[in-house]
Chain A
Amino acid sequence: MSRLAIRGARLLDGAGDHGVADVLLEDGTIAAMGEGAAAGAETLIDAGGALLTPAFLDLHAHLREPGQEVKEDLASGLAAAAAGGFGTVVSMANTSPTVDEPGIVADLVQKAERLSKARLRPAAALSHGLRGETLTDYAALQEAGAVMITDDGIPVANGRLMRSACEYAADLGLVVQTHSEDPSLRADGVMNEGEVSQELGLPGNPDAAEAAMVFRDCEIARLTGARVHIAHVTSKRSLQVVEHFKALGAPVTCEVTPHHLTLTDAALRSFDPVFKVAPPLRTEADVAYLRDALRRGVVDSIGTDHAPHTRAEKERDLMSAPFGLPNIEVAFPLLYTRLVETGELELPALLALLQDGPARVMGWTVPRLEVGAPADLVLLDLETERAVDPQRFRSKARFSPWAGERLRGWPTLTVVGGVVAHRLEERVATS
């Protein structure tokens, strides 16, 4: 394997700021660090003082394979992840067919390995076909490579089934991730229920639908001892429920998404279905509470919930357009620009939500810049402002709520297992 060196980068990880140094990568691991470490490298990359940090972990992305390759596939999705600075992605199971058989998990893992982009760690379905009726074979799915159990996309309406799932998962040490929204309370809501839904005449989905099921799922975590990871917490009420259970010592962790941290239900005034996500975009007060929770360390991870769809699907009407938006390529620059540059959040706190936080949720080794550690790294340019250009997305979903926005913090290089998985190509200006 080639010896790749990164010269002159500022090194930062969850253990602290290690100053400017060179890093040599060999055989998929960090082989040497410090002055002169780059000597003997076959490929040399000059970092020019940019920030080198462990590649991000995304515990929540929809890569759409198998069966929905028109929206995304492993090649485009994992390339998009690498472009966003992610070295590891947990893919969701709501595909066609759903990821509910060990053979499907094994196929995904094998296929992803050949791509040399971000690492794939598939989640498996909690129930067959995500129908919420019968349990899948968690032991066999785990054996095949599944790291998480979830019916994400479809809330598990049946509390008894969720309890059984948690009991099995606890025994196997698997994390159960939940899409917590009470389906009957959510009803046909396509956006947050409140002043704006009333104004727009769109069916609303009350925050009570989310908080009620977050409460149930936290109770089941407490009851069973399973590690329950509440996906995409969007509202003040839901987060307060999680805080309540954390204070009790229940084995509960939670995630927020980049869009719920930066957009509100007011965006629906455009009637643009790109803003239709589940759970829905909430109010300014909710966003403020989520952001404050990041500062207080209540949130464990930022997961993208990258949910690509075709342009045509998102050009339908708001009732029939699917839920979800693509964001994995802009997640870090968006949050860096909106939260860190504005002074709302310290950079190490944001990085922790993308590195140590998700690693701890999963029970994985926290990523560190040290000799012998996996060479999964990202180089971040915190200086250069670049506009979000969906036409240049690696994702097949070439649209974005943030199109045209000028952001800083773009990943210029992502290395996974010592191999370059992404390098930012600057647009060459033509005269």
Chain B
Amino acid sequence: MATVQIDLPEPTRERKRNLLDFADWSEAEVAALFDTADVMAQVLTRTIKKVPALQGFTVGTLFFEDSTRTRLSFERAARAQSADVISFAAGGSSLSKGESLKDTLRTIDQMQADVYVVRHPAAGVPYQLARWTDASIVNAGDGRRAHPTQALLDAFTFRNRFPGFDGFAGKRLVIVGDVVHSRVARSDVELWRLLGGEVVLCGPAPLLPPEVAPGVRHSHRLADAVEGAHAVMALRLQRERMTSGLLPSVAEYVARYQVTEEVLRMAHEDALVMHPGPMNRDVEIAGNVADGPRSVIEAQVASGVPIRMAVLYTLLVGKR
């Protein structure tokens, strides 16, 4: 294999074992991870998009819920650093045979992976698994709770794309839509607050969380929420929110909460438009906004692999 010289940062003295959420992460640790992701992004622009950084390590992906895009992104991130990858797509199959989550993990743990990337429809599963294994755990999305690598790539995209970026302090992120059911929104709020930014949550009352965290404002009016914002993120609206009686209709939602060019005029002149995907074009976001000059939605997607490379690198290097 061709060896490509790259200059990766030294691991921090206190090696992080897991990425479950950001509760035990510091601003400096996230900043260092972003610096690592910059280097990884560089690697991915080269002819040979592979470095030996994680040679000899094994990354296990444990997806109890389908998510081809996230799983592929993690597997690419592992292989680009020469790690071995084992994939376990559960879909609840073994659990339905009466095996407990702990039994499942113990069986899989015989594969001796160094890190497990876990996606599960129930909140808390990555925490439960972290109690039962010595391997590192990366939360790739648990229920409504957290999706930290998505939040990292959102913030990383903002950092790299906001004109004249000089830090997150004073930067306002507006998240519009179905916040209460969104693990992405929850992680975005947590990370944005950790980095020193402000957050405004906007949507109809049944889709906003009941409790307001410090540094987070609620608004039910999109024009007010977006005023002066540096980033506007629209969330996917699921059809089942209408059928389960939380909202009257798609038309009502579109009229009041769709991110449009008109709404964006209220925002900061350099404001970026984001969407964690998958998009319902012309529902939560106007198609011309998604494709417009302020949209960094493609850059978000492109940040996925380098951010996940940086996460795996940060957790694994220095291990053993």
Taking Cβ atoms with an 8 Å cutoff, the residues of A that contact B are 193-195, 198, 200-203, 270-272, 311-313, 315-320
The residues of B that contact A272 with a CB separation of less than 8 Å are: 128
Report B139-161 CB contacts with A as 1/0, cut-off 8 Å: 00011111000000000000000
Does B102 lie within 8 Å of A200, measured CB to CB?
no
Q: Check B103 against A317 for contact (C-beta < 8 Å).
A: no
Q: For chain B, which range describes its interface: under 10, 10 to 19, 20 to 34, or 35 or more residues?
A: 20 to 34
Query: Does the CB pair A317–B146 fall under 8 Å?
Result: no
Pick the contact of B143 from A270, A315, A319 — CB < 8 Å? A319
> Could you tell me if A202 and B123 are in contact, using CB atoms closer than 8 angstroms?
yes
Q: Are B144 and A203 in contact (CB under 8 A)?
A: yes
Query: Judging by beta carbons under 8 Å apart, are A315 and B102 in contact?
Result: yes
How far, in Å, is A323 (CB) from chain B's closest CB? 15
Question: Of the 9-residue stretches B93-101, B164-172, B217-225, B252-260, which lies at the interface with chain A?
Answer: B93-101
Given A201-B146, A201-B186, A271-B128, A313 and B123 touching (CB < 8 A)?
Answer: no
Closest residue on chain A to residue B183 by CB atoms: A201
CB distance A319 to B121 under 8 Å? Answer: yes
Chain A residues within an 8 Å CB radius of B124:
200, 202, 271, 317-318
Residue-wise interface mask of B (205-218) relative to A, using a CB-CB cutoff of 8 A (1 in contact, 0 not): 00001110000000
**Chain A residue nearest to B145 in the complex (CB):** A201
Secondary structure at the A interface, as helix, strand, loop or mixed, is loop
- Does A198 lie within 8 Å of B209, measured CB to CB? yes
Nearest 6 Cβ contacts at the A-B interface: A201-B145, A271-B124, A317-B122, A315-B100, A312-B100, A319-B122
Q: Which residue of A lies closest to B190 (CB)?
A: A199
A317 and B120 in contact (CB under 8 A), knowing A193-B210, A271-B127, A312-B100?
Answer: yes
Asked, given contacts A202-B123, A317-B124, whether A312 binds B145 with beta carbons under 8 Å apart, the answer is no
B interface residues with partner A (beta carbon < 8 Å): 95, 98-103, 120-125, 127-128, 142-146, 183, 186, 209-211
- With A201-B183, A271-B127, A271-B128 given, is the CB distance from A318 to B98 under 8 Å? no
> Can you list 29 A-B pairs with a CB-CB distance of less than 8 A?
A194-B210, A194-B211, A195-B211, A198-B210, A198-B211, A200-B123, A201-B123, A201-B142, A201-B143, A201-B145, A202-B144, A202-B145, A270-B127, A271-B123, A271-B127, A271-B128, A311-B100, A312-B99, A312-B100, A313-B100, A315-B101, A317-B120, A317-B121, A317-B125, A317-B128, A318-B122, A319-B123, A319-B143, A320-B122
Considering the chains assembled together, what is the distance between the CA atoms of A312 and B103 in angstroms? 8
- For A196, give the chain B residue with the smallest CB separation: B211
Distance in Å: Cβ of B99 to nearest Cβ of chain A = 7
A315 and B105 alpha carbons, distance in the complex (Å):
11
Task: Please judge, given known A-B contacts A201-B123, A201-B186, A317-B124, whether A312 and B144 are in contact too, CB under 8 Å.
Answer: no
- Least CB distance from A224 to B in Å reads 32
